[in-house]
Amino acid sequence: MTEKELREIKRRFRAERSNIPRIVGCFVNQNNQIIARISQPLALAESNVSERLLGILKKTLSGGLGTNLHDIPFSMKQVTGGQEHGLLMGPLKSHLGDAELLESFYENVKESLHFDSNYVILLANDIYDVPTFGKDGEKNDTTETYSYLVCAVCPVKSMNDAISFRESDRLFHTLSLSALLAAPELGFLFPTFDDRRSNIYDALYYTRSLSESYPEFTKRILASEPPMPPQTQRATFNGCLTDALSEECSLEIVRAVHAQIAEKVTEHKESRDPEPLTLSKGEVRSMLANCGVEESRLEKLDTALTKEFGGDAEWTPKNVVSVNKFELSLPEVSIKVSPEHRDLVTTETIGGNKYVMIRVTGAVEVNGIPITIDGE
């Protein structure tokens, strides 16, 4: 899915646009036991309740493609006879009307997850009559119907006894123990909305955390190895780069690579290309070659990246580089520099001591107090 297609589906999660008749699910306690089933008709719910439930489902489509949202493909074999694919297609085809299929889905989800607290599994089916438009901008008759599932797994947080102020009598009152439905930790959209039509060969997987991918869930529900979390991607990528370049890993090289990747991100944004931007091994190699890194080190890096990420590895740039941040960290000091001013920083060795130098171009303040520098 592209960002544009994703935005089109996210707009569905409003009471006036959604065709979701009800939200089903179950409440799972901290012992991983289902203690209640849920069937919430949205038309009969209070408006603020239906809006919040739709908002929670919409959260599973939030974040960036390749960061919080990951494309999970199904093979032809899985689609034609795979148990996991059938676990999704059954509820989809029945429009969540088959209790036995739902029970099987709930059991598989809860067996793949292990939370320390209570949680809720929510599932909804929306049917979208996809509009098309002529060259004159006029809306044509709909020819494509997109039926899809959205699943959200949300922790339930207990709120202890508290006091609340009521405007009606201008007094404080006790609030009893209650459970609050939190934002989803993970979820998925199935099938995906590719080229503005249904694609049963793909699911879009969501995780709120950038460090956790819930591998048991992806294997059992989506028949896939878990995507490497962005934080792990960055740490692994940085480790490969550091080991391969060794003593050649200088400020100048890191800064030049940062600048080249930032330029790619800017160009992609300005081009309005709907496809997500990716960074390939070949592009990383070319960037380092432009910095004068010798061939033997480039080969070593290529081998390391292939081992860790696979032969056809590609990354979402912000998963491996903080494009909007340029930071230098020492044991005693942390220096943050606006990326557009990264050239103000240099390194030097003076009298056998190593220094990080920052060229001053304007006023300098310490804790909000303007200071002078010798020689001014």
Give residue-wise pLDDT tens across range 88-115.
999 999 999 999 999 999 999 999 999 9
Nearest to 124 by CA among 66, 62, 55, 32: 55
Q: How confident is the model at residue 142 (pLDDT cuts 50, 70, 90)?
A: low
CA distances from 204 to 60, 101, 119, 212, 318 (A): 9, 21, 21, 16, 19
Query: In residues, how long is the chain?
Result: 376
Q: Average pLDDT for residues 28-40, to the nearest whole number?
A: 92
Helical H segments across 183-274, by residue range = 215-221, 230-245, 251-271
Other C-beta atoms lying within 10 Å of the C-beta of residue 40 = 16
Residue 375 tokens read as 């020689």
Q: How confident is the model at residue 135 (pLDDT cuts 50, 70, 90)?
A: low
- Residue 248, Cα to own-chain centre: how many angstroms? 33
Residue 58 to residue 10: CA distance in whole angstroms:
6
Q: How do 178-181 and 171-175 pair as beta strands?
A: unpaired
Is the backbone peptide bond immediately before 91 cis, with ω within 30 degrees of 0?
Answer: no
pLDDT at 165: 76
Residue 256 has pLDDT above 60, yes or no: yes
Residue 322 to residue 339: CA distance in whole angstroms:
10
- Is 153 in contact with 209 (CB distance < 8 Å)? no
DSSP 8-state secondary structure symbol assigned to residue 31: T
Give the contacts of 304 (CB within 8 A, at least 6 positions apart).
240, 243, 244
Nearest to 245 by CA among 321, 280, 283, 296: 296
Q: Average pLDDT for residues 333-337, to the nearest whole number?
A: 90
pLDDT at 108: 96
Tell me the three state secondary structure of residue 131.
strand
Q: How confident is the model at residue 248 (pLDDT cuts 50, 70, 90)?
A: confident
Mean residue pLDDT of the chain comes to: 90
Residue 123 to residue 144: CA distance in whole angstroms:
23
Residue 260 has pLDDT above 70, yes or no: yes
Residue 347 has pLDDT above 60, yes or no: yes
Residue 304 to residue 347: CA distance in whole angstroms:
28
DSSP 8-state secondary structure symbol assigned to residue 177: P
Interhelix angle for 295-309 vs 281-290, to 10°?
A: 160
Residue 159 burial by CB count (10 A; 0-12/13-18/19+): exposed, middle or buried? Answer: exposed
Tell me the three state secondary structure of residue 126.
strand
Residue 99 to residue 307: CA distance in whole angstroms:
45
Q: How confident is the model at residue 169 (pLDDT cuts 50, 70, 90)?
A: confident
173 forms bridges with which residues in the sheet? 164
Residue 77 has pLDDT above 70, yes or no: yes
pTM of the model: 0.85
Residue 148 to residue 250: CA distance in whole angstroms:
50
The enclosing H or E element of 57 equals: helix 47-59
Residue 315 tokens read as 């990354």
Phi, psi (deg, nearest 5) at residue 144: -120, 130
Q: Average pLDDT for residues 351-366, to the nearest whole number?
A: 90
Q: How confident is the model at residue 229 (pLDDT cuts 50, 70, 90)?
A: very high
Give the contacts of 371 (CB within 8 A, at least 6 positions apart).
364, 365
- Is 105 in contact with 217 (CB distance < 8 Å)? no
Other C-beta atoms lying within 10 Å of the C-beta of residue 131 = 13
